[in-house]
Structure 1
Amino acid sequence: MSDRLKIALLLAPALLLVGGLFFGGLAVGVVRSLGVSPALGGAGPTLAAYRTLLADPEFLRSLALSLHISVISTALAAIIGVAAALLLRRTFVGRGVATVLFQLNLTVPHLVGAIGILYLLSQSGLVARAAHGAGLIGGPADFPPLTHDRWAIGIILVYVWKEVPFIGIVALAQMQALGEDWESVARGLGASRWQALRHVLLPLILPGVLAASVIVFAFTFGAYEIPALLGQSYPAALPVLAWRRFTDPDLAARPEAMATALVIALLSAAMIWAYVRLVRRGVRA
């Protein structure tokens, strides 16, 4: 028996379990989104749920809000993460301690960060009360709304706080693997420090940063708990909207809930597909 066959046989039970749960759940979601539900008197496959979503202002606002959260969170996390990696690659006193502190919150659940934001930055939080005590505002209610607000500032803060170390560690690992030879050659040929960074180092670490950013985007786009805790009730993020419709006492809303969940999955898959295309194009170039 070859080594490859042994590895395949060892992995088969886990892969069958994970694949069965994933693709089984996906298949059920597709079937239910098409209205195929004999228990509810469904007449057969239909795209009525998707047509309803596309004509539903609440869904469109939720989609725009989710894209707003994911795009801004991912962009800020990538920029700050790469900047932090550039600082941490240098040799300075306390670098090891700084690196440990930088990646410390990787072990902290998102929910803990959300509760921290709620206690600190809500209009009844510690910062609002401290500002009122210092006479900066007339009362805690005058504090700018940073949670349950229309711009999802609290949600974005949690995601940026949590994902900056993730992207930063990926970028730092790539920089350390590359070393400084490429930049030294560029500097030797007359490039400035900024030109070496922009035209040499950043393009070399871009594939890894893009991969990490795609993961962050897919996660923030499909995550439920943070928007449910820190988001406003209307419009709600897509995962929150999907859950509300799934738990609606009116079972006729179930196909729309499944369709909403599939839209989340399809948009996340589209991001992954676009990333793969970019990487392949870069390899060919």
Structure 2
Amino acid sequence: MVQVVQPELRRVRSRIWAEWMERSRPYLLLLPALSIIGVLFGGGLLLALFQSLGFFTLLGPGELSLEAYRAAYSNSEFWTSLLQSFYIAIVATALSTVLSVGLAMLLRSANRWATLACQITLPIPHLVGIAGILMLLAPSGLIARVFLALGWIQTDQDFPLLVNDGASIGLLIHFLWKEIPFITLILLAVLRGLNPAYEQQARALGASPWQCFWNVTLPLLKPGILSASLIVFGFIFSSFEVPFLLGAIQSRTLPVYVYRAFTDTDLTRRPEAIALGLTLSAISIAVIAIYLWITANARSQVSGKRNS
């Protein structure tokens, strides 16, 4: 009896091991790369946390203290920069999302060439876009020179300030130019994957095109809109090079403020700068967590509707 059971147990163990290896193969293949990223990123984050708490600073071993966080959060420039970052991220994300929904609806039935034309700005680096904005919208830029040649303005100083301005108009224009195609691409994929029967039934029941869009299409687009807008919001909020080159000097965003604090010649402010950087990282992680939560809920709702 034992001789019969042992081979059967070995076969069961071999089958379980083979199934486990098959399921774990993608994770095992990713393990070396994830380990390197985890050590470098996690180690740097841990070292930054220790330095913000007063340990391992450039001025000595130090001792446990929350002075860096107290100094960072009690500075009015921090709150001004934080509000400026939220202002730019919220306005740019809201405008990009609204315009992208309209553009996606227009391109829904368009040919692939129109869709390709909409996506042509996606591979263009942000620095190239910044250079284009400066060449076009600066007081000495192309548009100002055209206006001057036409006699619409007397000097280049008469041209409205659209770059490095307090309202961040040039900054918002750049983000709109860059992010609208990205959100549109995501929404187009969602739109073209929708079952047309929902809209057809709504139209058959007498719904107007606007009612059909508002009550049928838009709710189905909601998960894609939320996911895309959160990705864009997180990117804009943590963006450095765009507000550094196009933003107002007197009202800096939080990433620019962190950079200025970190490059300060006063080394006693370094823990404060690291505390600011960790705060920025915490906000970015919170945005990622919200994004994952929304996508998980959207998938569960879709699977629940399909099962029902």
1: distance between equivalents of 2:161 and 2:40? 41
Which residue in 2 is equivalent to 1:174? Answer: 190
Deviates further, 255-264 or 267-276:
267-276
2:268 maps to: 252
For residues 275 and 139 of structure 1, do their structure 2 counterparts lie closer, same or farther at Cα, with a shift above 3 Å needed?
same
Q: Deviations over 1:22-71 (max 9, x none)?
A: 22222222222222235413632322222212221211111111111111
Corresponding position of 1:234: 250
Q: Give the alignment partner of residue 163 of structure 1, picking from 162, 179, 183.
A: 179
Say whether residues 1:204 and 2:223 are aligned partners: no
Q: Is the CA contact (8 Å cut-off) linking 2:231 and 2:291 kept in structure 1?
A: no
DSSP-derived class of the 2:36 partner: helix
Aligned-residue CA RMSD (Å) = 1.8
Partner Cα separation in structure 2 for residue 112 and residue 145 of structure 1: 21
Q: Which amino acid aligns with 1:35?
A: G
Shift of 1:183: 0.9
The answer to whether the aligner puts 1:271 opposite 2:290 as a matched pair is no
Work out whether residues 108 and 191 of structure 2, in 8 Å CA contact, stay in contact via their aligned partners in 1: yes
**In 1, Cα distance between the equivalents of 2:36 and 2:225?**
31
Deviation track 1:221-280 (CA, whole Å, cap 9, x = no partner) reads 111111111112222111111111111111111112112112212222223333444556
Specify which of 116, 119, 124 is matched with residue 132 of structure 2: 116
Inter-CA distance 276–11: structure 2 relative to 1 (3 Å threshold): closer
Partner of 1:70 in structure 2? 89
Residue type at the aligned position of 2:197: D
Pairing 1:43–2:59 present: no
Question: Which of the pair has more CA radius of gyration?
Answer: 2
User: How far apart, CA to CA, are the structure 1 residues paired with 2:32 and 2:284?
Assistant: 27
Question: Unpaired runs of 5+ in structure 2?
Answer: 1-17
Letter of the aligned partner of 1:197 in structure 2?
Answer: F
Structure 2: how far apart are the matches of 1:212 and 1:174?
11
Q: TM-score, normalised by structure 1?
A: 0.92
1:24 maps to which residue? 43
Q: 1:217 aligns with which of 215, 223, 233?
A: 233
Residues matched between the structures, number = 282
So what's the TM-score if we normalise by structure 2? 0.86
The residue matched to 1:40 in structure 2 has which SS? coil
Q: Hey, what's the Cα distance between the residues in 2 that align with 1:86 and 1:213? A: 17
Q: Which amino acid counterpart does residue 12 of structure 1 have in structure 2?
A: L
Deviation at 1:281, TM superposition (A): 5.7
- Counterpart CA distance in 2 for 1:38 and 1:166 is 41
| Equivalence for 1:52 | 71
Moved more, 19-28 or 140-149: 19-28
2:13 corresponds in structure 1 to: none
* Rounded Cα–Cα distance in structure 1 between residues aligned with 2:44 and 2:57: 18
Which stretch shows the higher mean deviation, 1-10 or 142-151? 1-10
Provide the C-alpha distance between the structure 2 equivalents of 1:173 and 1:281, rounded to a whole number of angstroms: 19
C-alpha contact 2:108 2:192 (8 A) present in aligned 1: yes
The 4+ residue runs of structure 1 with deviation greater than 6 A are: none
Cα pair distance change 1:148/1:252, threshold 3 Å: same
Change (3 A) 1:262 1:129: same
**Partner SS, residue 104 of structure 2:** helix
State the alpha-carbon separation in 1 of the partners of residues 183 and 57 from structure 2.
46
| Structure-1 residue corresponding to 2:160 | 144
**Paired position in structure 2 for 1:135:** 151
